[in-house]
Amino acid sequence: MIAAAIWFLAHNTLENMRVRGIQSGFGFLTQPAGFDIGESAFAFDSGDAYWKAFLVGLSNTLRAALVGIVLTTILGTLIGIGRLSRNVLVRGLCTGYVELFRNIPVLIQLLMWYFVLNEWLPPVADALHPLPGVFLSKSGMSFPVPEWEQGHVVSLAGFAMGIVVAWLYRRWARAAFEKTGVARPMVWPALLIAVLGGLLGWLAGGAPTALEMPVRNDLNVSGGGAVTPEFLAVTLGLTIYTASFVAEIVRSGIQSVPWGQTEAAGALGLSRAQALKLVLLPQALRVIIPPLTNQYLNLTKNSSLAVAVGYPDLVSISNTTLNQTGRAVECITILMAVYLTLSLVTAALMNWYNARSAIKER
Amino acid sequence: MDTALRPPVIARPAPTRHVGLLARLRKSLFSDWKNALATIVVVALLVRWVPEFYNWAVVRSVTQPDNDACRALDHAGACWGVIAEKYRLILFGRYPFDEQWRPLVATLLMVAMLVASCTRVLWSRWLVAAWIAVLAIFFVLMRGGVAGLTPVETARWGGVPLTMLLSTLSIAAGFPIAVLVALGRRSHLPAIRSMCIVYVELIRGVPLISVLFMASFMFPLFMPPGITVDVLVRVLVGITLFSAAYLAEVVRGGLQAIPKGQHEAAAAMGLSYWQTQRKIILPQALRMVVPSIMNSFISTFKDTSLVTIVSLYDLTGSLALALGGDANWRQFYLEGYLFIAAIYWGFCFAMSRYSQWVERRLNVANAH
């Protein structure tokens, strides 16, 4: 029955394509795209092939999603903890934030931020200048970036070596703990070693400090790093929306650890920090991590709404391609396959983590 | 005597009474220096921004539909006049102006029905019949063509009635599908099980917008030649299939929480598979996941805003329709967004409060 249904649909599709003169196949991917893309992680012009345009779209999607995920984790955690504060003002403010932003569709929030950035910010000629080197205007945000020099390679190498040494230290400390029972701090020394490695590399590389500062001219702001208002609107909207969900996850995760655990840790003589690190956090994280990953996936999928504000993400590129070539089936298949791959990879990582951190029952 | 040498324990002072508003506030706001700092920071922020917002939204605002006055403000105050000027276009989209009492009545009927469905005393078989009747009246009112009503094609439907229609129908149609798929995922037949898994994982792995693109661009290709399906129906099918996949996972969570003994006991009583599911398993499983089901409903309601991207004029789309084409009012989009955001927020907040109430009731029922 299922096979018959699939055959029926496939037959109809082929018939329709024949009637409407639609060509099929992925051959079009190597043809020149013929459209420009506003922002791109690498050089792209309208003569480049469609597959390259799709790559630009994917990189833009991932860029917005990654920045959004980092910001939303920070903001969401702060607000989630704030909802458990003793201070009635902090608690009320955080509760208000969650109730306000999670009940408004994310699309409207994106459109609203985009409109506010576009309409309310000054034109680029008199851009806002809140911090030295940072310009904010209708045309986006410019900020200083370090100038690329040989020394940066050395400091990166130093940092990498520091990480290796830190890992070795942790291994040694753990082995020593198993053998002698002397507990050594594991987190701070390891972090210190890694940072120190980077610092030594930076000094060895001649301590490059040059920053490329954006400069305001009469007509525009040039130099430095820059992001477009579209990118700002997308990351701002996604971050603020998703943070309200992350806050709820963090709050319920912390609340899921029974108060008796805190008391028991205190009765065993653990300090507050030790209790938090050894007893409370491991249990709370087990509850927090799976839904948190779900929110990261949601954020990535919601970044597809960027098409509504004209940010050239994967959806926007495939929409343009679809309109130009008429290959609906192929374009939507590529779109779905990419998102599906992202989701399945994340789900696989998640399952691996879950299997590792699940309560060991015998 | 030995005991006489020991000094008597000095009586401690009575504990200070921490009652009264002032003492409670002091304990909550200034218990130590960190707490006090947080209080000061929050108060400073509130003092800085609340009056500013109040001035913008109320004091300096223009409520009359007066374009010149609004432009003279130059965003120093809110121009609520844009709502007064355009509210009918925003609320009802491109529906013919003289006939707009029809979507109004239809929407009010739908809202009344939703409120009735949330009222405990009205839960009975009659509710289902009432729903069918209300949906039929809704369609007749919107579509017209009978009883002297002018016909209005679906392409001109828009605004709040469209949002209500899309969310209600996709939830109503998605729920049975979700239950079937959730049962299918636990089926012993490999073909059914793997099909359900593929369906759920496929849909949950892609964004709704790609499903909507599929509904509007690819769906026509799937149909036999000569048959065209209304774009509204296609989008409705897309949203339904999408929300059903998420709902199916919620229902499956409830099914998994039912102990095996329930199945075995039902089998021992001689109940068939469908009898077991209908009378034993599903009532317990669904009750367990009521809050998650409500959350799913809320996100479906919010998701209907995405149909704007495939050119349907729901509440979000009709705002763009109302303001986008009018150069005089285009700069007051923000006020328009705030207006529709308030409408969405009202619906979603009411739903989430209702779900909390249901949850408390169920907990009370379980405790006894």
Q: Are residues B196 and B306 in the same domain?
A: yes
Each residue of A284-313: pLDDT tens digit?
888 888 888 888 988 999 998 888 888 888
Inside any domain, residue B83: no
In chain A, which residues have their Cβ closer than 8 Å to the Cβ of B341? 104, 108-109, 112
A248-255: average pLDDT: 90
Q: For chain A, how far is it from start to end, CA to CA, in angstroms?
A: 44
Work out whether the CA dihedral A322, A326, A332, A335 comes out positive or negative: negative
pLDDT of residue A112 exceeding 70: yes
CA distance A290 to chain B (A): 14
Tell me whether residue B116 is in a domain: yes
Q: Would you call B84 an interface residue with chain A, using a CB distance cutoff of 8 Å?
A: no
Helix (H, G, I), strand (E, B) or coil at A159: helix
pLDDT(A221) > 60: yes
Alpha helix segments (H runs only) across chain A: 2-20, 50-82, 88-101, 106-120, 150-180, 187-204, 229-255, 259-267, 272-274, 281-302, 314-325, 328-357
Which one of B43, B217, B225 has the shortest CB-CB distance to A328? B217
Tally of domains within chain B: 2
Question: Would the pLDDT of B367 be above 60?
Answer: no
Considering only CB atoms, B305 lies closest to which of A15, A16, A108, namely A108
Query: Is the pLDDT score of A345 beyond 50?
Result: yes
Q: Which of A218-222, A302-306, B199-203 has the lowest mean pLDDT?
A: A218-222
Q: Is B191 on the interface with A (CB under 8 A)?
A: yes
Residues in chain B within 8 Å Cβ distance of A315: 207, 209-210, 213
B35 found inside a domain: yes
Minimal Cα–Cα distance from A101 to chain B, Å?
A: 9
Of A273 and A54, which is predicted with more confidence?
A: A54
Q: Which residues in chain B are closer than 8 Å to A61, comparing Cβ atoms?
A: none
Any domain includes B81: no
Does B79 lie at the interface with A, CB-CB under 8 angstroms? Answer: no
| Contact state of B207 with A315 under an 8 Å Cβ cutoff | yes
Q: Which residue has the higher pLDDT, A240 or B110?
A: A240
Contacts with B108 (C-beta within 8 Å, 6 or more apart), sequence order: none
Which of B38, B202, B209 faces A90 most closely, judged by CB atoms? Answer: B38
Q: Does residue B8 surpass a pLDDT of 90? A: no
Per-residue pLDDT tens over the stretch A260-290: 998 898 898 888 778 888 888 888 888 888 8
Minimal Cα–Cα distance from B9 to chain A, Å? 28
For residues B32 and B153, membership in a common domain is answered with no
Range of the domain at B309: 93-367
Residues B250 and B113 in one domain: yes
Q: B155 pLDDT exceeds 50?
A: yes
Q: Is the pLDDT of residue A361 over 60?
A: no
**A contacts of B191 (beta carbons < 8 Å):** 2
Rounded Cα gap, residues B186 and B285, in angstroms: 14
Q: Which residue from B minimizes the CA distance to A88?
A: B28
HSE (CB half, 13 Å, CA atoms) of B225?
A: 8
Query: In angstroms, what is the C-alpha Rg of chain A?
Result: 26
Q: Cβ distance A144 to A225 under 8 Å?
A: yes
Per-residue pLDDT at B83: 81
B101 located within any domain: yes
Find the mean pLDDT for residues A238-265: 91
Asked if B181 and B261 sit in the same domain, the reply is yes
Q: Given a cut of 50, is residue A237 above it in pLDDT?
A: yes
Contact B223 A16 (CB under 8 A): yes
Smallest Cα distance from B4 to chain A, Å: 36
At residue B17, does pLDDT exceed 70? no
Question: Domain A71-121+227-326, what architecture?
Answer: Orthogonal Bundle (1.10)
Q: CA B310, CA A347: separation in Å to the nearest integer?
A: 29
- Residue B39, pLDDT > 90, answer no
CB nearest B202 (choices: A2, A119, A340): A340
Domain ends where: B41, B60, B79?
B60
Do B26 and B163 lie in one domain? The reply is no
Q: A-chain residues within 8 Å CB-CB of B331?
A: 119
| Domain CATH code at residue B296 | 1.10.3720.10
Sheet of A225-227: strands edge to edge?
A128-131, A134-137, A140-143, A225-227
- Residue A240 has a pLDDT of 95
Average per-residue pLDDT for chain A: 82
Instruction: Reply yes or no on whether the pLDDT at B202 is more than 60.
Output: yes
The mean pLDDT of A89-112, rounded to a whole number, is 92
Specify which residues A227 forms β-bridges with.
A141
pLDDT confidence of residue B14:
78
CA A220 – CA A211 distance, rounded (Å)? 19
| pLDDT at residue A133 in the model | 73
Residue A217 reports pLDDT greater than 80? no
**Judgement on whether residues B262 and B168 belong to the same structural domain of the protein:** yes
Q: Taking 50 as the threshold, does the pLDDT of residue B1 lie above it?
A: no
Q: Do B337 and A335 touch (CB under 8 A)?
A: no
Which residue among A86, A105, A329 places its CB closest to the CB of B305? A105
Nearest to A247 by CA among A92, A90, A78: A78
Residues B145 and B191 in one domain: yes
Mean local confidence (pLDDT), A236-250: 93
Instruction: Check pLDDT > 90 for residue B242.
Output: yes
Does any domain span residue B332? yes
Q: pLDDT tens across B106-138, in order? A: 888 888 888 887 777 777 778 888 888 888 888
pLDDT for B55-97, tens place per residue? 888 888 777 777 787 777 777 778 887 888 888 888 888 887 7
Distance of CA A4 to the CA centre of its chain: 43
Where are the alpha helices (H) located in A146-258, listed in sequence order?
A: 150-180, 187-204, 229-255
Residues 302-341 of chain B with CB under 8 A from chain A are 302-303, 305-306, 308-309, 316, 331, 333-334, 337-338, 340-341
Q: Where are the beta strands (DSSP E) in chain B?
A: none
| CB–CB contact B217 A332 (8 Å) | yes
- The closest CB to that of A104, out of B75, B334, B344, belongs to B344
**B46 and B143 part of one domain:** no
Co-location of B272 and B324 in the same domain? yes
Q: Are B126 and B113 in contact (CB under 8 A)?
A: no
Both B185 and B247 in one domain: the answer is: yes
Q: What per-residue confidence (pLDDT) applies to A235? A: 93
Q: Do A158 and A199 touch, CB atoms closer than 8 A?
A: yes
Task: Report how far apart, in Å, the C-alpha atoms of A338 and of each of A343, B10, B215, B242 are.
Answer: 9, 76, 19, 18
Q: Note the pLDDT of residue B178.
A: 92
Q: Residue B298: its chain A contacts at CB < 8 A?
A: 103
For residue range A306-337, what is the model confidence (pLDDT) as tens digits? Answer: 888 888 888 888 888 888 887 778 888 888 99
In a domain, B82, yes or no: no
Helix (H) or strand (E) holding A215: strand A215-216
- List A residues 12-41 in contact with B (Cβ-Cβ < 8 A): 12-13, 15-17, 19
Among A225, A228, A229, smallest CA distance to A113 is for A229
User: Are both B15 and B105 inside the same structural domain?
Assistant: no
pLDDT of residue B345: 94
d(CA B26, CA B34): 13
Mean pLDDT value across residues A208-212: 72
The answer to whether position B284 is within a domain reads yes
**In which band, very low, low, confident or very high, does the pLDDT at A359 lie, cut at 50, 70 and 90?**
low
Is the Cβ pair A328, B218 closer than 8 Å?
yes
H or E element that contains A134: strand A134-137
Residue B5: pLDDT band by 50, 70, 90 thresholds?
Answer: low
Residues B255 and B180 in one domain: yes
